[in-house]
Amino acid sequence: MDDASPPKWHLAHTTWFFETFLLKPYLPGYRAVDGHYEYLFNSYYNSVGQPFPRARRGTLSRPTVAEIYDYRRRVDEAMARLLGAELGADILQRVELGLQHEQQHQELILTDVKFAFGHNPLYPAYRDRGPAPPTTAPPAGDLGFVRYAGGRVAVGADPAAGGFCFDNEAPRHEVLLAPFALGDRLVSNAEFQEFVADGGYQQPALWLSEAWTRLGAGTLAQAPLYWRCRDGAWYEYRLDGLQPLDPGAPVSHVSFFEADAYARWRGCRLPTEQEWEHAASATTVTGNFADAGVLHPLAAVATGPAPRQLFGDLWEWTASPYVAYPGYRPLPGALGEYNGKFMSSQMVLRGGSCATPAGHVRASYRNFFYPPDKWQFSGIRLARDE
């Protein structure tokens, strides 16, 4: 798939970021490891030059993995030299951005490996089954709703408040919300199976026109990305291999179109990103993140305050297109290409996933993908008007 890249590309690209935006401009006497890497490992910074075509990344058998690890080692050493000096705030901000950027690609390595392995007939496991998650908590029951009064509420991040945020989370600003309710947990595989069994994929009234056209009147996709039917039983490819579908686990790897259609079928809708953030701001950022080592979403449990699973497990599609906040200003220079230029035709997702490094997300964090994208760890939280 054109959107997925091999792991070694991610390793080289995150290294390239430090070399391009820190070592070259700020480390006196620094010389690029290889002049070609500028071109090969530039993902999309058009201001820096014409990137190597994304769809052909998988064809680069050179440089080898060993050469790329050597590249990383040499850049790491140079970064250590740079960090040994007294650095201005703007340089430190770039270092922070480089680290956040690398965290994003840590997640992409997992999603891209999952895509490659999940479409390989051998269904290889990326890792053996991780440590069994704690199962003492009783499973969550029927999906309920948590109500919010809405009103005039503040959303977004204030860069001046301390702590890192991306430019697209700012400025903090006020919005008006009508009363609403959020599902108290993610939609489960069993619940999504009801939609499939009801012929949800065949009912045009449930689908956005763009989806129905892409779906080819229902013929293209009939299930989440990694569901596989074998002799009448559903399985799911996970990073620990092809496993029987867990009915209680959240349905994952669905597109915005599927999330939207499912919500409509339930008589609900998806939350806006403002509604989601307003609810998430009241909770702590804990959940099933990559550091837990599970690498797939877990069934919700009945303990703890609702709504549950706001953070970790799965990125949650919202009803909000990804656009600029009022008064948005991109970063200056090439770094300004980081977020702002993607503000068309994509939808916002919130909350992080089981593949997101712990500590990377927060209530104001805005992720974004195109409506048909399914290869991210994406799931469904319902919402409704009150």
Beta bridge partners of 152: 176
Q: Is 4 helix (H, G, I), strand (E, B) or coil?
A: coil
Beta carbon nearer to a copy of itself, 163 or 326: 326
Q: Which is nearer to a copy of itself, 272 or 309 (CB)?
A: 272
Q: How far is the CB of 106 from a copy of itself (least distance, A)?
A: 18
Terminal C-alpha separation, the chain? 41
- DSSP string for residues in 295-340: -S----BS-SSSSP-SSBS-EEEEEEE--PPTT--PPSGGGGGTTG
Backbone angles phi, psi at 316, to 5 degrees: -110, 120
Residue nearer to a copy of itself on the CB measure, 227 or 256:
256
Least Å distance, CB 211 to a copy of itself, is 7
Task: Give me the least distance between CB of 286 and a copy of itself, in Å please.
Answer: 30
Compute the distance between CA of residue 369 and CA of residue 77 in angstroms, rounded to an integer.
Answer: 34
- Residue by residue, DSSP assigns 201-254 as GG-GGGS-HHHHHHHTTTTS--S-TTEEEETTEEEEEETTEEEE--TTSBP-S-
| Shortest distance in whole angstroms from residue 240 CB to a copy of itself | 15
Amino acid at 1: M
Shorter beta-carbon distance to a copy of itself: residue 28 or 267: 267
Q: Which is nearer to a copy of itself, 133 or 171 (CB)?
A: 171
**In sequence order, what are the residues at sequence separation of 6 or more whose Cβ sits closer than 8 angstroms to the Cβ of residue 128?**
240
Collapsed DSSP state (helix, strand, coil) of residue 136: coil
Q: Which residues bind a copy of itself (CB under 8 A)?
A: 6, 34, 36, 39-40, 44, 46-47, 50, 52, 56, 58-63, 116-117, 119-122, 124, 152, 173-178, 204-205, 207-212, 217, 256-257, 260, 269, 319-321, 323-324, 326-327, 336-337, 341-345, 347, 371, 385
Q: Which is nearer to a copy of itself, 159 or 336 (CB)?
A: 336
- CB within 8 Å of 192: residues ≥ 6 apart: 224, 251, 254, 262, 380
Q: Which CB atom, from 191 or from 258, has the smaller least distance to a copy of itself?
A: 258
Of 58 and 159, which CB lies nearer to a copy of itself in the complex structure? 58
Min. distance of Cβ 83 from a copy of itself in angstroms? 29
State the minimum distance, in angstroms, from the CB of residue 183 to a copy of itself: 18
CB of 312 to a copy of itself, least distance (A): 27
Question: Smallest distance from the beta carbon of 45 to a copy of itself, in angstroms?
Answer: 9
Select 60 or 146, whichever has its Cβ closest to a copy of itself.
60
| Minimum distance, C-beta of residue 359 to a copy of itself, in the bound complex (Å) | 28
CA 219 to each of CA 209, 212, 265: distance values in angstroms, whole numbers, following the listed order: 15, 10, 19
User: CA torsion sign, 238 to 184 to 139 to 303?
Assistant: positive
CA nearest to 263, candidates 164, 210, 191, 367: 191
Neighbours of 246 (CB within 10 A): 16
- Residue from 84, 98, 103 nearest 22 by CA: 98
**What are the Cα distances from residue 36, in Å, to 7, 52, 68, 324?**
19, 10, 13, 34
